[in-house]
Amino acid sequence: MINYDVIEKKEILHELFAGLLADLARIIQENSIDINSNAPICDTRRKVREIWGSILTDKYSTMEQMKELEDYYKSVKKQMNQYNLPK
């Protein structure tokens, strides 16, 4: 059974990653980047989409994994700063 704190963190991260997907889609569209290209931002979007789709599954079930996802979220947010997103 998964710890309640992990479940709570999973739900929060699921919402945060959904927000990342929306921001990444906007960046891609605003910069006229082909979403199917191998541009770094598109590769990042694909990885974020994959993670988002599996956060609520058994693939992620420990607090250590939650920390890794949180760190990845932060790194993507930092990467997105180069596109001058509103804070």
Q: Is the dihedral of CA 2, 6, 12, 18 positive or negative?
A: negative
Task: Answer for the pair 5, 70: CB distance below 8 angstroms, yes or no.
Answer: no
Determine the 3-state secondary structure of 41 from DSSP: helix
pLDDT in tens, 69-87: 999 999 999 988 887 655 4
Give 3-state DSSP helix, strand, coil % of the chain, rounded to 5.
Answer: 70, 0, 30
Q: What is the reported pTM? A: 0.89
pLDDT, residue 86, reads 52
